Amino acid sequence: MAKPVMADKHLHFAQALSPGGWAKHVRIGIADGVITTLVEGVEAEAGDECHAIGLPGMPNLHSHAFQRGMAGLAERRGPGDDSFWTWREIMYRFVDRIDPDGLRAIAALAYMEMLESGFTRVGEFHYLHHDPAGEVYADPAEMSRAIIAAAAETGIALTHLPVFYAHAGFGGAAPQPGQRRFLHDLDGFARLLDGARAAAMQLPDAIVGVAPHSLRAVTAAELGHLPALAGNNPIHIHIAEQVKEVEDCLAWSGQRPVQWLLDHAGVDARWCLVHATHMTPDETRALAASGAVAGLCPITEANLGDGLFPAPAFLAAGGRFGIGSDSNVLIDMSEELRWLEYGQRLFARGRNMLAPDAGRSTGQVLFEGALAGGAQALGVAAGLSVGHAADMISLDPDHPSLAGRSGAALLDSFLFAAGRGAIDRVWRRGKDVVRDGRHIARAAVIADYRRALEPLVA
């Protein structure tokens, strides 16, 4: 029989969201970063650290950290109609100049902001691999090391998703010059994965998955080789984000992207389909039935003018979803969830669109759904339970928007009224990395970011 583990410390919450719902007087023991005991309905003991409102940390299932550095730089109207594709040209020009240390500094800022907004694990969909000339670095995982260093510096948990990217369009079209830093063949990609896995060992609980970039960037034959490289770890892909992508896929295969992927790639619960914006009702039901997670990025999808995910039909079919900050134009967990709901309200001219039954709290449905789906997509267990990492948030009970609230009403008021300003502390593996809403290394991370950004925006 295993020896009971003695807790290093105890946290006590007047109320906390546990897997069984809201509980009162929750005492959580933590040892080596992991929850070892969780008892409800008990008072605090001497030496406990006491807080009012506890929530599990939220997974951020989709990020391109370097894009934080260009946030706001693509909001000026161009000569013609602007679109995702004109935004991508600006992104390619920005990406041309980033070196490993610059990537580390930008990623550290993004990860710090994620923690401050309540995200405790990030899925980094990482495609910036090579030097500015497109040559492989002496260490092929040099840029992955920069991401891992940023995670170590800020304390965020990392699910690293090295991206396989080989082509510029469906059917293996030759890559463009702007894509030269992203490209691999399958052998080179296997070397990158080996390097990234070795580097990730320095983090306490990192996971390394695999990410075929999109059906534009990977041939059917290449896609067939990638799931085996993931083992049991997550597989993420961008899909059906843009109408043009749907049209190009139809022209190439006669099928729409989600339909093609479900028919050809063995999609299961290891997979996360990022965006999946443009689906027919049949695709929506089939994706829900596959057990894969839909990776929704409402702020970025709004910013890029992607379109609106068919969330009510997907949830009604039992679909699983999580949220991602994607382009990192604005990093804010509560705002992602708010916009997931608000997009549907604006479209359908209704309210409480994602709560399934009368009387259900929209805030709690959004929070618990994104928690479970996000954790699945990042390869970890969700929520506050014994054996899980002690990744937690506390809300400030003195925030005026939370006055007099308890239980589900706290989540509704946090997500729809207070926002990130109500976040007091954030713990990673039991260590508080955010206090009074600010990361403990905030000043140093920002100073480092400013220095790194100067040559990139000059």
Contact residues for Zn ion, defined by CB under 5 A: 326
Where helices occur in 254-395 by DSSP H, the ranges are 257-264, 281-290, 298-303, 311-316, 333-348, 362-378
Q: Under a CB-based contact definition with an 8 Å cutoff, are residues 59 and 120 in contact?
A: yes
Nearer to Zn ion, 326 or 424 (CB): 326
Distance CA 317, CA 209 (A): 27
Q: Which residues of 415-431 are buried (b: 16+ CB within 10 A; e: fewer)?
A: bbbbbbebbbbbbbbbe
Give yes or no: 326 in active site: yes
Nearer to Zn ion, 321 or 427 (CB): 321
Q: Which amino acid is at 219?
A: T
**Beta carbons within 10 angstroms of residue 371's beta carbon:** 21
Tell me the closest approach of the beta carbon of residue 64 to Zn ion, in angstroms: 6
> What is the DSSP-derived secondary structure letter of residue 360?
-
Indicate the pairing of strand 293-296 with strand 271-275. parallel
Distance CA 146, CA 134 (A): 17
**Beta carbons within 10 angstroms of residue 241's beta carbon:** 23
Distance CA 54, CA 271 (A): 30
Tell me the closest approach of the beta carbon of residue 338 to Zn ion, in angstroms: 20
Nearer to Zn ion, 141 or 239 (CB): 239
Gyration radius of the chain's alpha carbons: 21
Tell me the closest approach of the beta carbon of residue 63 to Zn ion, in angstroms: 8
Q: Which of 275, 278, 399, 439 is catalytic?
A: 275
Nearer to Zn ion, 245 or 326 (CB): 326
Contacts 24+ apart (CB under 8 A), 368-373: 368/17, 369/315, 369/320, 369/321, 370/58, 370/59, 370/321, 370/322, 370/323, 370/336, 370/337, 370/340, 371/56, 371/58, 371/59, 372/320, 373/61, 373/293, 373/294, 373/320, 373/321, 373/322
Nearer to Zn ion, 23 or 161 (CB): 161
Distance CA 89, CA 214 (A): 17
Q: Which of 10, 51, 167, 326 is catalytic?
A: 326
Nearer to Zn ion, 12 or 236 (CB): 236
Give yes or no: 205 in active site: no
Using CA atoms of 160, 161, 162, 164 in order, give the dihedral in degrees to the nearest 10.
180
Q: Under a CB-based contact definition with an 8 Å cutoff, are residues 382 and 14 in contact?
A: no
Tell me the closest approach of the beta carbon of residue 241 to Zn ion, in angstroms: 8
> What is the DSSP-derived secondary structure letter of residue 407?
T
Sequence-distant (≥ 6) Cβ neighbours of residue 207 within 8 angstroms: 158, 159, 160, 200, 233, 234, 378, 379, 380
What's the distance, CA 30 to chain centroid? 25
Distance CA 210, CA 195 (A): 13
Nearer to Zn ion, 142 or 326 (CB): 326
Q: Token pair for residue 403?
A: 């006055």
Tell me the closest approach of the beta carbon of residue 61 to Zn ion, in angstroms: 10
Query: Which is nearest to 189 in space by CA: 166, 155, 160?
Result: 166
Nearer to Zn ion, 124 or 396 (CB): 124
Nearer to Zn ion, 265 or 274 (CB): 274
Distance CA 367, CA 412 (A): 9
> Annotated active-site positions, please?
275, 326
